[in-house]
Amino acid sequence: MTANNEKPPRFWGDKRYHSWNQHLRARFGEKVMKVSLNAGLTCPNRDGTAGRGGCVFCCPQGSGACAGDPSEAIRDQFRQVRERLRSKWSQGKYIAYFQAFSNTYGDPRLLRRLYEEALAQEGVVGLSLSTRPDCLPDDVLDLLVELNGRTYLWVELGLQSIHDDTLRRINRGHDAATFYAALEKLRARGIRVCVHIIYGLPGEGEEAMLETGRAVAAMDVQGVKFHSLHVMKGTRLAEWHAAGQVPLLDRDSYIRLVVDTLEILPPEMVIQRLTGDAPRELLVAPQWISRKWGTLQGIDRLLEERNSWQGKNYDCALPKQSD
């Protein structure tokens, strides 16, 4: 690929990538924070529809181990998290983030009630729904279209890897074709999509990981979240790790892979997350996951050392994506 820029775009502020924070400030004119919520929903990969036990890396609390208590009402969860955020940022708006498990999986009437309760909270300007590509039936899509017409909506769609053998290995319960079909349905309806990918999955070398990154660069998605595979208590991955069957990425390797991928992503794509995290009491390995700030600094530093930025090596002439 050949470079198509001589320096990073100015609208990114002090970052060499199109950060989520900068994107939201540009759109809303102030700080906007995500409030993580747990709606008490489940997943077709747990209830027997697509499989049992969930993905090998998913703990009993689901992907929202840091989200709220599902025994509490959405409004109460929201207010508790908002108060914690206000200790850091006294002013700002909020996006209600349904994080735990699959948040488009359920009766549309129940989903509507949950979403509306979140949208009714003070300061909420948008909605973000984390889900799987096999959880988007037509009646739910109709609901999303309605919501997209009156609030700032994102659907966060889990891919993890473009490789079907990896998806089988991690008990994902769907293949890459299912992801592409869901993405096409969402984009045909004008709904913003943020794709989740994981680097370091069992059986994947660095080239296989970068193939996923290159696939994302060619997708019609508006955002991406990067995660490094980490081991949490109560998962099958923890059993594999205890048996010495799961090599994990070191931090420097992960940083290099993320920077390699940032360089080939379109400049318009919003980087919603550069590394995952986990509650300290649940994290087994690697321990560098708990030092998130150091990882983010390492990504910034390597971009500076390379005099590089998001999209520097992106040479596919795609039309400007909507925000």
Q: What is the 3-state secondary structure (H, E, C) of 188-236?
A: HCCCEEEEEEEECCCCCCHHHHHHHHHHHHCCCCCEEEEEECCEECCCH
Residue showing tokens 């949208």: 119
Amino acid sitting at position 287: Q
Using the Cα atoms of residue 70, residue 75, residue 79 and residue 81 in order, give the sign of their dihedral: positive
For residues 61 and 87, which has the higher predicted lDDT (pLDDT)?
87
Q: Would you place residue 261 in the very low, low, confident or very high pLDDT band (cuts 50, 70, 90)?
A: very high
| Mean pLDDT in residue range 168-183 | 97
Name the band, by pLDDT with cuts 50, 70 and 90, for residue 1.
very low
The mean pLDDT value for 185-212 works out to 98
Q: What is the pLDDT of residue 318?
A: 43
Q: How far apart are CA 50 and CA 197, in angstroms?
A: 20
Contact 232, 278 (CB under 8 A): yes
Q: At 87, list the tokens.
A: 């200790």
Beta bridge partners of 96: 35, 127
Taking all residues of the chain, what is their mean pLDDT, rounded to a whole number? Answer: 92
Over 90: is that where the pLDDT of 127 sits?
yes
- Do 98 and 43 touch, CB atoms closer than 8 A? no
Give the per-residue pLDDT at 323: 59
- pLDDT category at 201 given cuts 50, 70, 90 is very high
| pLDDT of res. 320 | 47
Q: Is pLDDT of 306 > 90? A: yes
Question: Domains plus CATH for the chain?
Answer: 16-306 (3.20.20.70)
pLDDT tier for residue 2 given thresholds of 50, 70 and 90: very low
Cα separation values, 127 from 95, 120, 153, Å: 5, 11, 5
Instruction: Tell whether the model's pLDDT for residue 319 goes beyond 70.
Output: no
Count the alpha carbons within 13 Å of 168 in the hemisphere toward its beta carbon: 3
Question: How many Cα atoms sit within 13 Å of 99 on the Cβ side?
Answer: 20
Contacts of 169 (CB under 8 A, 6+ apart): 56, 201, 202, 203
Do 256 and 305 touch, CB atoms closer than 8 A?
no
pLDDT reading at 64 higher than 80: no
Q: Binning pLDDT at 50, 70 and 90, where does residue 12 land?
A: confident
